[in-house]
Structure 1
Amino acid sequence: MERQEARSRLESRLQSAVNDSPDLHSAYLLVHSDSRDLHWNLATGQTEGIEAEPEQPYYAASIGKTFTSTIVAMLADDGQLNFDDPISEYLSESLLDGLHTINGTDYTDEIRIHHLLGHTSGLPHSLPEGGKMFFNTRLEESPEGNTLFDEMLEEPDRIWEPEETIEWAKQNLEPHFPPGEDCYYSEFGYNLLGLLIERVTGHPYHEALAEFLFDPLAMEHSYLPPFSDPAVESELPTAPFYIDETRIDVDDVRSLSAFYAGGQTVNTAEELFRFHRALVEGELVAEETLQEMQQWNKLWQGIDYGYGVVRIRPLPFLKRFHSWGGLGASSAFMVYNPTIDVYLIGTFNQWSYMRKSMMFLFRTLRSISKVERSEQ
């Protein structure tokens, strides 16, 4: 397939996704392949009353977990911690008191850093998808029937400190299994990692993001609201995202701070690509460290989890379509396919579109695989 034909098909498919779904308002897609000499940054739809622009910042959601895990990996490479270290070496007794107790047995001291990174700690989570299910994982409720997300939406102006989210989980939810026995998604586990990063570096998490990633990679429009601002303010407004029909403006809903180190950054597609390529090409962590980050456990159907990175297997028996990177519940994606040699970065800004976004990625991979590689 010729490059221009492939681009035209992708543009048409992206536009059709928005036009054909009343829940979608905008969509963004960056495609990059060195071997095929491709770099397309596309956007369609309406946002803030204007046409969506490829350079527009948007909410990356749980892609932020990949930032968190990468910083932890960089600290491990520097000898400041070890993946096998107990988290009790870094976090306060008061924070850990009552964190992980099942049937009267306290497993808190058994939690290692790698358990938090790989969602194998057994700790609970609270990440909604339009109040429904995120893949096959239900949104956990307190005994009173409330979720943390309910409380966040009831008080949109409240800033949640990470310690407060951990205390809420301890008071309202229960762990699922002893550390290492299974894989279960946990927002709270990543908030603990954010606090661990603060303890090791001596800096707030948002400053660590800038020091380790945003500044070195010139991610000047990336930031962690409401804790920080971008180094350079974008001339374009941050794209809102939607939970079904409810519009969320990330810069105004300060209670999203509860997601903290689990996925609260705003980025552009170009800057997410810059980060992911640096991770893939070994510019951020050692090769053996990256391999350790890619020790996969089955999380959901077609989705495996490593240390802050996911592997997508749309067709389990066709490994050429297997890709890895980060996903966000706002239907944000940041993946690399090593066989086809292509990066796909973008978002649909809609929490109820996650499953459909995976099919879109698969179809895009098939299209790019048909584009001839450039002569070297």
Structure 2
Amino acid sequence: MKRFDEDTLEHIVKQVLQKKHIHGAVFHVSSGDGRKSLSGAAGDMDVESSYYIASINKMMVSAVTLKLIEEGRLHFTDALEKYMEPAHLKGLHVLGGKDHSKDIRVVHLLSNTSGLPCYFEDQPLEGNSVIKDLEAGMDQSWPLEKVIERVKTMKPHFSPGEGNRAKYIDTNHQLLNLVIEKVLDKPVKEVLNQLFSDLEMHRTYVCEDAQDTSYIYPYYKNEKRNISKFITSTQNDVISTAKDQMIFLKAFFNGYFYPRDKIEDLKKWNPIFFPFQYGIGIQKFYMPRILSPLKAVPDMIGHCGSTGSVAFYVPEADLYITGTTNQQANPSAAFQTLIKIVHSVI
């Protein structure tokens, strides 16, 4: 590992403020052995800032699911119908005139291979997608019942587990909420909050209070977006810090949820959208050498969110990186920063 200190990290993080629409950023970097642990922040964020982690919550929901699988309380091959009311399940996945809803397995939800419509990003029959409304400042609640209703009006992308097809679909992890709740007989928000307590992630919680102003709201271009109605309705959207995210990330890859020697089994990668692939509960950021001819970019495994939030492990360097650029309109800035950090270390 090259000489990499807090001044270097601070310099890299301050540089991201020059990117379009970036108003603040925070990153935490730690070596696998914990001997090096550094934080850097700039703009309207500091190293202790709380922020909305966006889709990194999917990795947390997946972690809980994988733990239940390892404990034998749940199985990859379990059908969704085992955990879902028949009336809710019927018509959830209708493609080519056939209802494939009973073919959906837990592994399909974990790996984004269910083919279900995405209630969040797909275009509905009428009006805008949920994400377009949120970007426009139209905040609204989306409880699971409403998600199910919306999905039943939309066309699926492919049949469950079809070939090597995958599509990044928010619906999958909302349905995993149901699975977890059925197995543990308690709300998923309680399960997640207990997890955070067990890991001593004292600044991390499922957002339940629409009046909560203790975290820095995500930006869309030059405006902060208060999306409290949305994130308090999902039961699994999380507020955290870069340091707390590091605790979770290290716990995941060191076997707290799923045995360390089985992590390789989760790396069954399918392309979702460049430059990402999806495995079982985890995401991979990769960069072909042709796009980085001067210096290779090593694979990074973990998860990211649409607001520029990141939580990745870099196996080649035994390095962990968490943080955010807190900007919905320019998520690529976070990955440019990730690459700079990694290239400064190896």
- 2:172 matched to which residue of 1? 189
- 2:41 matched to which residue of 1? 43
Q: Which amino acid aligns with 1:355?
A: S
Q: Which amino acid aligns with 1:2?
A: R
Question: 1:225 touches 1:254 (CA, 8 Å); kept in 2?
Answer: no
- CA shift, 1:314, in A, is 2.0
CA 1:260–1:150 in 2, change beyond 3 Å: closer, same or farther?
farther
CA 1:274–1:116 in 2, change beyond 3 Å: closer, same or farther?
same
Q: Which amino acid aligns with 2:230?
A: S
- 1:3 matched to which residue of 2? 4
Taking the TM superposition and a 5 Å limit, the aligned residue runs for 1:132-211 are 139-150=121-132, 156=139, 158-171=140-153, 173-181=154-162, 182-211=165-194
- CA shift, 1:143, in A, is 1.9
Among 267, 276, 284, the residue aligned to 2:249? 276
Q: Which amino acid aligns with 2:193?
A: A
Structure 1, gaps ≥5 residues long: 47-51, 128-138, 370-376
Q: Which amino acid aligns with 1:122?
A: G
- 2:313 matched to which residue of 1? 336
Q: CA RMSD in A?
A: 2.4
- 1:53 matched to which residue of 2? 46
Query: Which shows bigger deviation, 345-354 or 218-227?
Result: 218-227
Report the TM-score when normalising by structure 2.
Answer: 0.90
Among 184, 205, 222, the residue aligned to 1:223? 205
Report the TM-score when normalising by structure 1.
Answer: 0.83
- 1:374 matched to which residue of 2? none
Instruction: Please list every run of at least 4 consecutive aligned residues from structure 1 whose deviation after the TM superposition is greater than 6 angstroms.
Output: 317-320
Task: State the alpha-carbon separation in 1 of the partners of residues 67 and 124 from structure 2.
Answer: 36
CA 1:154–1:37 in 2, change beyond 3 Å: closer, same or farther?
closer
Task: State the alpha-carbon separation in 1 of the partners of residues 60 and 41 from structure 2.
Answer: 24
- 2:13 matched to which residue of 1? 14
CA 1:93–1:155 in 2, change beyond 3 Å: closer, same or farther?
farther
Query: Which shows bigger deviation, 27-36 or 333-342?
Result: 27-36
Question: 1:333 touches 1:345 (CA, 8 Å); kept in 2?
Answer: yes
Question: 1:314 touches 1:362 (CA, 8 Å); kept in 2?
Answer: no
Question: 1:119 touches 1:184 (CA, 8 Å); kept in 2?
Answer: yes
- CA shift, 1:354, in A, is 1.6
Instruction: Write the deviation string for residues 153-174 of structure 1: whole angstroms up to 9, x where unpaired.
Output: 6763x54321211212212x21
Task: Tell me, yes or no, if structure 1 residue 255 matches structure 2 residue 217.
Answer: no
Task: State the alpha-carbon separation in 1 of the partners of residues 232 and 221 from structure 2.
Answer: 21
Task: State the alpha-carbon separation in 2 of the partners of residues 323 and 155 from structure 1.
Answer: 34
Question: 1:121 touches 1:178 (CA, 8 Å); kept in 2?
Answer: yes
Equivalent pairs, count: 338
Task: State the alpha-carbon separation in 2 of the partners of residues 104 and 65 from structure 1.
Answer: 31
CA 1:36–1:266 in 2, change beyond 3 Å: closer, same or farther?
closer
Q: Identical aligned pairs, as a percentage?
A: 27
- CA shift, 1:80, in A, is 0.9
CA 1:97–1:319 in 2, change beyond 3 Å: closer, same or farther?
farther
Question: 2:118 touches 2:169 (CA, 8 Å); kept in 1?
Answer: yes
- CA shift, 1:35, in A, is 5.2
